């Protein structure tokens, strides 16, 4: 229950009960209904749009200033901005969204009893 453990859990999402079974369905961030290892009912935990909203705020606070500084420093054509920031945004979403969702599920599991 320490911060390093929570970060490790978020980066490698597993069942919050046994820490062995999968938390997400393969190639998805949908939560499995039951843990394959311990049978814990994981489908009951619904984080809603919490992880997505967090990422929207994170991306808005980081990508917009980054794009502004990039434009002031290099003055690239508009199509470079369109491609660059779309790719950067999608990469950040692919890397961070599963971790944020796993962390919210861990917190929900820990505090809902
Ligand atoms: Zn389990």
Give the residue extent of every domain in the chain: 3-111
DSSP per residue over the chain, as a string? --HHHHHHHHHS-B-TTTS-SBSB-TTS-PBPSB-TTT--B-TT---TTHHHHHHHHHHHHHHHHHHHHHHHHH---HHHHHHHHHHHHHHHHHHHHHHHHHHHHHHHHHH--
Write out the two tokens for 105.
């599920």
Question: Is residue 113 scored above 70 in pLDDT?
Answer: no
Per-residue pLDDT band at 111 (split at 50, 70, 90):
confident
Q: What's the CA gap between 64 and 92, in Å, rounded?
A: 14
Span from the CA of 16 to the centroid of ligand 1 (angstroms): 7
Predicted local distance difference test score (pLDDT) of residue 91: 94
| Residue ranges with CB less than 5 Å from ion ligand 1 | 15, 17-18, 21, 35, 37-38, 40
Span from the CA of 72 to the centroid of ligand 1 (angstroms): 50
1 vs 23: which has the higher pLDDT: 23
Span from the CA of 26 to the centroid of ligand 1 (angstroms): 16
CB 31 within 8 A of CB 45: yes
Question: Is residue 1 scored above 80 in pLDDT?
Answer: no
* pLDDT tens sequence across 92-105: 999 999 999 999 99
Span from the CA of 73 to the centroid of ligand 1 (angstroms): 50
Predicted local distance difference test score (pLDDT) of residue 112: 79
Span from the CA of 17 to the centroid of ligand 1 (angstroms): 5
CB 42 within 8 A of CB 31: yes
* pLDDT tens sequence across 69-87: 999 999 999 999 999 999 9
Span from the CA of 39 to the centroid of ligand 1 (angstroms): 6
* pLDDT tens sequence across 16-65: 999 999 999 999 889 999 999 998 888 877 788 888 998 999 999 999 99
Write out the two tokens for 101.
């969702």
């Amino acid at each position: 229950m320490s911060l390093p453990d929570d970060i490790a859990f978020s980066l490698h999402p597993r069942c919050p009960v046994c820490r062995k079974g999968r938390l997400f369905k393969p190639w998805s961030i949908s939560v499995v209904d039951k843990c394959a290892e311990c049978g814990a009912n994981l489908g009951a935990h619904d984080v809603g749009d919490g992880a997505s909203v967090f990422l929207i705020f994170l991306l808005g606070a980081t990508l917009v200033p980054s794009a502004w500084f990039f434009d002031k420093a290099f003055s690239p054509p508009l199509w470079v901005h369109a491609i660059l920031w779309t790719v950067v945004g999608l990469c950040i979403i692919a890397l961070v969204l599963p971790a944020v969702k796993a962390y919210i599920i861990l917190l929900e599991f820990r505090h809902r009893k």
